[in-house]
A = this chain, B = another copy of it.
Amino acid sequence: MRLFDKIAIIGVGLIGGSIGLAVKRRRLTEEVIGVFRKRSTMNKALKRSAVDRATMDIGSGVEDADLIILAASISSIPELARQAIRYAKKDAIITDVGSAKRWIIEKVEGLIGASRQVFFVGSHPMAGSERTSVEFARADLFEGSPCIVTHTSRTDRMALGRVVDFWKALGARVKVMTPASHDRSVSLISHLPHIVAFSLAGAVPKESLTYAAEGFKDTTRVASSDPELWADIFMANRDEILRSAKVFGRRYREILHALSKGSRSKLVGLLVKARLNRDRLTHGSTR
């Protein structure tokens, strides 16, 4: 089913590349255009057939597109949005895939201003892995994974509906919420866990790493993520992450306190609650 005539993807890494593959497999568009910053990435993306056409010129990349997806790293999104707005045709819909939404949306809505020549709807497909290159892109990356689409007082309802349909067509479980709600939920379910994983991986001396078993590998897997990329995400969602750190810290100190006091029953109670929560997530889908 064709949802858009032409789709431009700016930044074709794991997420952008997977969108390209998924869109092509499901025939959601006539043509997928990839916009690249580096020739080496362009060649990799063409080799994977993640896009139909590739360019390093953002103007010619977006000019015919009905849907423009900003899939580059979060810190570059405002500038890419500025250029996309400039070259986009009238009524084009622009979306992004950034992990912190308020920071992005305030900037991009400011750029669009009152002109309303194009529409912007923020997205955050919660899929991916610690490997960010197009070489790891997969057409099924979004199947069954959550995707948050944001609305603000300035969001066009029609554009919102079309972006929701787009992610649903890729198999995602779409939820619409405000940028603030997004940032709060995601700080606790994704950003802070990344900080905790980085902290654990960073705390272990080299000589102890020899004894790392599957448990440690899983718990710290996301600490293999790109530091520059995640530093930008953390900075963009700083206030909510610091708030979530307090929530985590309370539970963590409760557990340590029960342990240091030798209150086994208290300790078991806290672990049981945690396990119940964890078991709400589908068993077996992670391995």
Contacts and interface: CB of A to CB of B under 8 A. Distances in A.
A198 B225 CA distance: 22
A101 interface: no
Interface string A134-167: 0000000000011010000000000000000000
A191 to B, nearest CB: 10
A194 interface: yes
A264 interface: yes
A195 B199 CA distance: 14
Given A218-B286, A221-B218, A211 B264 contact: no
Contacts of A195: 252, 255-256, 259
Interface in A87-130: 126-129
A185 B201 contact: no
Interface stretch (A5-13, A20-28, A266-274): A266-274
Contacts of A209: 189, 277, 280-281
Interface stretch (A35-43, A48-56, A242-250): A242-250
Given A199-B255, A200-B248, A242-B260, A214 B277 contact: no
A72 B166 CA distance: 52
Contacts of A148: 211
A163 B64 CA distance: 70
A217 interface: yes
A221 B286 CA distance: 8
A16 B215 CA distance: 19
Contact of A245 (B129, B175, B256, B283): B256
A275 B196 contact: no
Nearest to A228: B268
